[in-house]
């Protein structure tokens, strides 16, 4: 380890050698990265924001989910507003979607992968349940939201209003599907939250979607028949992570 004065601060250069194989080297690289992130939090006023950035549009539900996760972990980061398919996004995401996370030389796309990295790379409150059964349930709900909910609730319903496309046939067909979808979550919220007693990843994926559904007439009517879902959503809206990430 060498320390050198640089621009009013101290530059740290570290070399760790002697690994038996590449896999062992890679695992230590991640560990040292986590340690240096913690050191930055302690010594640098910018904290992890000196190396961590999130690129995306704050109005995107997936970008907001990533921001909620970062806020729940207490991680400082730079928010860089980028639309899909811009050069910055295309440089990381093969399909040009948002958000994208950059942490030093780590570049990640897909919100699930981003938040699992954040969970393991940084200290702070956990984003996942503590037992294997509830972690599997959390994964089940995240997968369901990504596979079956986003397309109906956001792409085919909310965005018809937001971008004033108002293709009534698309909008009305999606609106008819919403009550059945929401009832699955109504049953899921028989417990305080989808994967246990405390909010975790699936709640953070669903909350921005529900936040938009609260804004439009057909979905408002469907939500009115989901009291357990709305109870949990009201609790999530009281958390600082929700208030800090309003688009």
Start-to-end CA span in the chain (Å): 43
Name 80's bridge partners.
55
Cα torsion 223, 157, 162, 113: sign: positive
At residue 165 the predicted structure's pLDDT band, cuts being 50, 70 and 90, is low
pTM: 0.87
At residue 135 the predicted structure's pLDDT band, cuts being 50, 70 and 90, is very high
pLDDT, mean of residues 112-132 = 94
CA distance 235 to 242: 10
| Number of alpha carbons in the 13 Å side-chain half-sphere of residue 179 | 9
Over residues 211-238, the pLDDT tens digits come to 999 999 999 999 999 999 999 999 999 9
- At 107, give phi and psi (nearest 5°): -125, 120
Over residues 178-189, the pLDDT tens digits come to 999 999 999 999
Whether residue 238 contacts residue 232, with contact meaning beta carbons closer than 8 Å, is answered with no
Question: In this predicted model, which residue has the larger pLDDT, 83 or 8?
Answer: 83
Instruction: Count Cβ atoms within 10 A of the Cβ of residue 204 and give its class: 0-12 exposed, 13-18 middle, 19 or more buried.
Output: buried
Over residues 76-86, the pLDDT tens digits come to 999 999 999 99
Per the structure block, which two tokens stand in for 7?
């621009």
At residue 166 the predicted structure's pLDDT band, cuts being 50, 70 and 90, is low
């Amino acid at each position: 380890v060498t320390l050198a004065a640089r621009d009013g601060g101290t530059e740290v250069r570290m070399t760790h050698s002697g690994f038996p194989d590449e896999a062992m080297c890679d695992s230590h690289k991640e560990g040292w990265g986590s340690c240096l992130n913690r050191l930055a939090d302690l010594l640098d006023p910018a904290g992890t924001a000196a190396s961590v950035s999130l690129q995306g549009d704050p109005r995107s539900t997936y970008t907001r989910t990533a921001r909620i996760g970062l806020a729940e972990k207490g991680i400082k980061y730079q928010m860089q507003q980028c639309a899909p398919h811009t050069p910055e996004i295309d440089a990381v995401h093969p399909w040009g979607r948002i958000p994208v996370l950059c942490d030093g030389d780590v570049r990640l796309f897909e919100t699930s992968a981003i938040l699992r990295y954040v969970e393991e790379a940084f200290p702070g409150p956990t984003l996942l349940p503590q037992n294997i059964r509830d972690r599997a349930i959390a994964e089940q709900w995240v997968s369901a939201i990504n596979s079956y909910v986003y397309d109906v609730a956001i792409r085919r319903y909310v965005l018809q209003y937001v971008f004033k496309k108002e293709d009534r046939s698309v909008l009305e067909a999606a609106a008819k599907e919403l009550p059945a979808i929401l009832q699955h979550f109504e049953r899921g919220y028989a417990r305080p939250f989808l994967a246990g007693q405390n909010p975790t990843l699936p709640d953070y994926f669903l909350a921005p979607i529900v936040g938009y559904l609260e804004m439009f007439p057909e979905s408002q009517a469907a939500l009115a028949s989901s009291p357990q879902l709305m109870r949990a959503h009201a609790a999530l809206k009281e958390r600082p992570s929700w208030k800090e990430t309003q688009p």
